Amino acid sequence: MKDIIYELRDMRYLNWAKTRKSSGTGGSFLKAYDDTGKKKKYYKLSDSDPIKGIVGHECVNEIVVQRLLVFLGIEHLEYTLIHALVTVEGKDYETYLCESEDYKNADEGKVSLEDYYAMNKKDSETPLDFCRRMGWAGYVYEMFLIDYLVLNRDRHGANIEILRNTKTKSVRPAPLFDHGLSLVCRCHKMKELDDFDVMEDRKVQAFVGTGSTLVNVRNIPAAFFHDLPKLTESDLDTVFDGLDKIIGREYIVKMRDMIWKRWCSIGRI
């Protein structure tokens, strides 16, 4: 698959820094960048622990969600999953990391939706109403849909960005990004995986809408679904192709079960 590099790369030159942890999530998430080439590249690791090392599989989740977004025809930041040797706090680790490139155009700057909303909202306007007024309803509905299908727990106000063009004075939402805290991201043991209910309506962070992905998907007009591709169970073969070389088969079965059951539930919702 073009979005996975299985050959081990020595990337110990990267300098990793901790990023802020979202409320309610454990672990530290490390990010790095490389600006020595023509295009600046960004890297991130899965959940890590100072004693156990890299323990999560959030980077794999990014590829699963990316492939689902491709099928649905939804604009998104493109990630590549790379088998890499990295150094974190003096220790070497063999892992898989995510690589991406800057999605801004040359004349664009970025600001979080949270900040842009605070600067431009009307008196009692909610973030959802604000996005509708700005003409971004379709973008929000796409976000609600994917976040429901994969139970994204981390769509806070900085995980949605607005791109501003300094020449044309235009604004647009950035492609969807950062889907790692989704699916079965907190299942590190087989019992946790076995006990995980893929249909449970868990409390999530969501700057737009509510803290329930189920409630949010109910806010999507029925007409929105008419032009969407119709996902079949066999389409999930492509979504998970090649990932069995990276993550346990039990995890793939569970993640596949979540996406399929949640997709089938949309008609009832």
pLDDT at 172: 96
Asked if the 108-265 domain carries CATH number 1.10.1070.20, the reply is yes
Write out the two tokens for 8.
């081990």
Between the CA of residue 78 and those of 48, 74, 81, 157, 166, what are the distances in Å? Answer: 23, 11, 10, 20, 24
- Closest by alpha carbon to 75, among 30, 139, 6, 128? 139
| Predicted confidence (pLDDT) at residue 81 exceeds the cutoff of 50 | yes
CB atoms within 10 A of CB 113: 24
| Predicted confidence (pLDDT) at residue 24 exceeds the cutoff of 90 | no
Mean pLDDT rounded to a whole number for the chain: 93
* Cα-based torsion angle of the residue sequence 186, 209, 111, 178 in order, rounded to the nearest 10 degrees: 20
Query: Using CA of residue 174, residue 175, residue 181, residue 183, what is the dihedral sign?
Result: positive
pLDDT at 140: 98
| Predicted confidence (pLDDT) at residue 18 exceeds the cutoff of 70 | no
**Residue 230 — pLDDT band, cuts 50, 70, 90?**
very high
Cα 2 to Cα 246: distance, rounded to the nearest angstrom: 15
How long, in residues, is the chain?
269
**Extended strands (E) in the chain:** 4-10, 17-19, 29-34, 41-44, 48-49, 53-54, 80-88, 91-101, 108-112, 154-155, 161-165, 171-173, 205-206
Between the CA of residue 40 and those of 18, 104, 146, what are the distances in Å? Answer: 19, 11, 27
Rounded to an integer, the average pLDDT of 208-222 is: 96
Query: Using CA of residue 118, residue 121, residue 125, residue 131, what is the dihedral sign?
Result: negative
Cα 170 to Cα 157: distance, rounded to the nearest angstrom: 20
pTM assigned to the model: 0.93
Write out the two tokens for 22.
């979202």
85-135 pLDDT, tens per residue?
999 989 999 999 999 998 888 889 999 999 999 999 999 999 999 999 999
Cα 221 to Cα 224: distance, rounded to the nearest angstrom: 6
Counting runs of H as helices and runs of E as strands, what totals does the chain give?
Answer: 8, 13
Q: Is 234 exposed, middle or buried (0-12, 13-18, 19+ CB in 10 A)?
A: exposed
